[in-house]
Homo-oligomer: A and B are copies of this chain.
Amino acid sequence: MIRVRGVSKSFDGRRGTVEALRGIELDVGDGEFVAVLGRSGCGKSTLLRVIAGLLPASAGEVRIADEPVREPRRDVAILFQRPALLPWRSVLDNVLLPIQVHGQPRPEHREAARQLLSTVGLDAPFHRRLPHELSGGMQQRVALCRSLIQRPRVMLMDEPFSALDALTREELCEVLQRVHMEYAATVVLVTHSIEEAVLLADRVVVLSPRPGQVRTVLDVPVPRPRSLGHDAHATELARCRAELHDLLLASHMTGV
């Protein structure tokens, strides 16, 4: 589905160049769930944006469904690190935005939006509010709903749960797993949380920082649906977690 070949990316600023990514190779299969894990500033967001077609790679190529990616695609939903809500639109209208951009929202779309919002814990009184009246976590959840309403084939998500409390995060992880399985969506999830990566991903890509390079790819051989409470595969999950912890630490050591 997604094929990243030798992708490098440098930013030329007025104060010199930053090499953010170097020679990234990554294949994500159809319906696969891949987490990208790495330390702050290691190039996770940059990689996601290159895959999304928002940022041109300095070298290398990205292909989705065998087509080279130059611009964002309609079948790909992107969730940004910052919520990026339109300040003049109500919560509901923000969620409906992708529908409106592509056509006229029908009543069933509104229903779906309301449904999604209450799934993420935002009930009716909030639907008509403007983004600035929401807390940080609420805004992030609205952005999540906006990316889900498109029923995309591919989801690229940049730390979607970073502003959420442990419990809400768990709930939303569950929602995300369900969506992933129902839509058979291919997901690339950027995260800084080992927990999250292990809970959600089939494979975890660990980036080492400056320049961002693939350090390891770790398989998480645990059947779905997974949950933290669930104890059946507790040891397996714990092993993955520990391993990732060490990898991150190591990536740090060698990376800088």
- Chain A residues engaging chain B, CB cutoff 8 angstroms: 11, 13, 15-16, 18, 37-41, 44-46, 81-82, 121, 125, 128-130, 133-138, 140-141, 159, 162-169, 192-195, 245, 248-249, 252
State the CA gap A166–B135 with chains docked (Å): 23
Show 20 residue pairs from A and B whose CB-CB distance is below 8 angstroms, ordered by the A residue: A37-B165, A38-B165, A40-B135, A40-B137, A40-B138, A40-B163, A40-B165, A41-B134, A41-B135, A46-B135, A82-B136, A136-B159, A137-B192, A162-B162, A164-B192, A165-B193, A166-B245, A167-B248, A167-B249, A167-B252
For the complex, would chain A's binding face be called helix, strand, loop or mixed by DSSP majority?
Answer: mixed
Bound together, the chains give a CA A245 to CA B229 distance in angstroms of 11
Contact B121 A40 (CB under 8 A): yes
Q: How many copies does the complex hold?
A: 2
Whether A133 and B166, one on each chain, are in contact in the complex, defined by CB atoms closer than 8 angstroms, is: no
Of the candidates B40, B82, B140, the one whose C-beta lies within 8 Å of that of A164 is B40
CA–CA, A13 and B18, complex, Å = 44
